[in-house]
């Protein structure tokens, strides 16, 4: 299912509606909060810039509340890491536009993202290729080639990899060789 698939969009927005209602009914429910966060984040891929920035704030608020309840929930740690990674890697122009439109973007660094990815790795009950890829990317961006290579080896040792992981692995290897 492609990222811009209308069926995918409909399912994500429908699920988000249910999760939001469940959370409104029981603000103490971790599962309702978790799914509200996950589906709010997933919905942003279908939004324009203005809505993405606004929903990014809602997303991180829900993520941080959920992580405060379950600090070892690896998928939420990974999602927060991805958010920080994306913000840290916005271009200067994208940051200027977001600051002008929305009184600022969060101050995230690649190291902030890396901290969450490493914690997610520690808490995950299995080797998670996508998370390991982001760890390798962070180390590559920070010019720590040896550590990036270590995580690439971990990914390669997993065995059968999803085609998107294989493509991302090539990108990370290319990033390492450029630095």
Identify which of 62, 71, 68, 64 has the alpha carbon closest to the alpha carbon of residue 33: 62
Indicate the length of the chain as a whole number: 179
Per-domain residue ranges for the chain?
Answer: 1-70
For the chain, the average pLDDT equals 90
**What is the tens place of the pLDDT at every residue in 120-131?**
999 999 999 999
Predicted TM-score (pTM) of the model is: 0.88
**What is the tens place of the pLDDT at every residue in 91-112?**
888 788 777 776 677 789 999 9
Structure tokens at 89: 């890697």
Cα–Cα–Cα angle for 25, 6, 74, nearest 5°?
55
Q: How far apart are CA 30 and CA 103, in angstroms?
A: 30
CA dihedral 61, 91, 140, 53 (to 10 degrees): 20
Q: Look up residue 159 and give its DSSP letter.
A: -
């Amino acid at each position: 299912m492609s990222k811009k698939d209308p069926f995918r969009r409909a399912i994500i927005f429908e699920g988000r509606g249910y999760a939001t209602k469940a959370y409104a009914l029981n603000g103490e429910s971790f599962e309702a909060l978790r799914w509200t966060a996950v589906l709010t984040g997933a919905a942003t891929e279908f939004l324009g810039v203005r809505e993405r920035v606004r929903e990014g704030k809602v997303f991180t608020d829900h993520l941080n509340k959920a992580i405060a309840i379950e600090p070892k929930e690896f998928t939420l740690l990974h999602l927060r890491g991805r958010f920080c990674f994306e913000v840290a890697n916005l271009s200067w122009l994208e940051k200027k536009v977001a600051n002008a439109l929305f009184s600022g973007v969060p101050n995230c660094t690649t190291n902030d993202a890396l901290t969450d990815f490493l914690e997610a790795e520690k808490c995950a009950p299995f080797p998670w290729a996508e998370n390991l890829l982001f760890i390798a990317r962070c180390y590559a961006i920070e010019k720590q080639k040896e550590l990036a290579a270590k995580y690439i080896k971990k990914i390669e040792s997993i065995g059968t990899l999803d085609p998107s992981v294989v493509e991302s692995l090539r990108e990370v290897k290319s990033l390492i060789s450029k630095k």
